[in-house]
Amino acid sequence: MQTLFETKRGKVLPLPPELARLYGPLRIALARSRPYVISNFVTTLDGVVSLNVKGHLGGADISGCSAQDRMVMGLLRAVADVVIVGAGTLRADPDHVWTAERIFPDGAVDYRRLQRALGKPGPPLNVIVSGRGQIDLSLPVFASGTVPTLVVTTTAGQERLRNQKSPELVRIRAVRSRSVITPRSILDQVRRLSAAKLILIEGGPRLLGDFYAARLLDEQFLTLAPQVAGRQPDDRRLSLAMGRTFAPQSPRWGTLIDLRRGGSHLFLRYTTRKR
C-alpha cells in the first residue's frame, strides 16, 4: 500500500516484515482506562455496504474481492482482543469465524506471529449480538472450538437459547431487557468476560449506528471501493450506519488520521469519538 497521509498518532505495533511490507506501519493509540473501540467496513463510492440480495450480502461484492481489503481485515482482527458482530452479519455468512487467518489465509503465519508479539494467547473473543436469540449454536463460530464466543442477548433471547445445547467455549449473557441491547450493555458484558483493550466492530450497519449514536466508537477504518452500486427507492441496500439519523441536528464528524492507497481502493481511517 502507498501511504498518502499519516498523522503518526499512537504506538507502532510490531508487525512481522511481510505485514509491514504490505501495509506499512500500524499505530494504535489505546485508551488507558477503558477498551478502545474501532470499526472496519468497506463501502462503494455511493455509500453502499451491502447489496442486501440473497447470495450477495457480504463485503466481497462491495470490495470486488479485494485481497488488500481482506489483508487489512485480518490485520485488525489479529490485533483486536474482541470482534463484535450482529446476528444479521452472522446470518449473511453463517459459516464464518471471525479470525485473522479465516479472512486472509495467506497471512496466517504472520498474523500468529503478530499475536504472539502482542502477548495475545489466541484468536479474539467473537461476540454475537442477538436481541431475539434466534441463532443456531451448531454454526462454526460456536461449535468449531476454534474461538471463544460470547452471545449477548436479551432475557427473552436467553430463554429461547436455552432450548439448544451450548458448546463448551460459548458463553451466553443476557442484558436486563427483554427487547433492547444498548452498546454500553454490550461492552459491559464483554468486560465481565475479557480484559479487552482493543475491540473491533465488523457489523452490521444497525449495530454500528447504535455505537455512533452512543458515541462509543473511537475510530472508523473505512475501505472505499471504486464502484457505484446505485439504488432504487425501495431496494433496501444498506449504508454504513442504519437505524439512526444524526444530521442535521447532531451530525457525527470524524477527523482523518490515515489514508492509504491500494490500486484504486482507498483505505481511510478516522477518529470519531467526541471528547
The Cα–Cα gap between 67 and 110 comes to: 16
Q: Which residues, in sequence order, are CB contacts of 5 under 8 Å at separation 6+?
A: 256, 258, 259
* Radius of gyration of the CA atoms of the chain, in A: 18
Q: What is the average per-residue pLDDT within 173-181?
A: 88
CB atoms within 10 A of CB 195: 8
Count CA atoms within 13 Å of residue 192 on its CB side. 15
> 100, 122 in Cβ contact below 8 A?
no
Pick the CATH number of 2-228+249-271 from 3.30.420.40, 3.40.430.10, 3.40.630.10, 3.90.1300.10: 3.40.430.10
Sign, Cα dihedral of 46, 219, 175, 163: positive
Q: Is 64 left (phi over 0), alpha (psi -120 to 50) or beta?
A: left
Which CA distances in Å does 220 have to 1, 21, 167? 18, 23, 33
Which residues sit opposite 137 in a β-bridge? none
Report the chain's mean pLDDT, rounded to a whole number.
Answer: 95
Q: Check residue 112 and give its pLDDT.
A: 97
- pTM for the structure as a whole: 0.96
Q: Check residue 68 and give its pLDDT.
A: 98
33 band by pLDDT with thresholds 50, 70 and 90: confident
The Cα–Cα gap between 195 and 125 comes to: 11
274 band by pLDDT with thresholds 50, 70 and 90: low
Count CA atoms within 13 Å of residue 1 on its CB side. 28
Q: pLDDT per residue over 109-153, tens digit each?
A: 999 999 999 999 999 999 999 999 999 999 999 999 999 999 999
What are the structural domain ranges in the chain? Answer: 2-228+249-271
Tell whether the model's pLDDT for residue 62 goes beyond 60.
Answer: yes
Which CA distances in Å does 198 have to 27, 119, 150, 221, 230? 13, 13, 16, 14, 35
Tell whether the model's pLDDT for residue 12 goes beyond 80.
Answer: yes
Sign, Cα dihedral of 146, 219, 204, 236: negative
273 band by pLDDT with thresholds 50, 70 and 90: confident
Q: Check residue 54 and give its pLDDT.
A: 86
Q: Check residue 271 and give its pLDDT.
A: 96
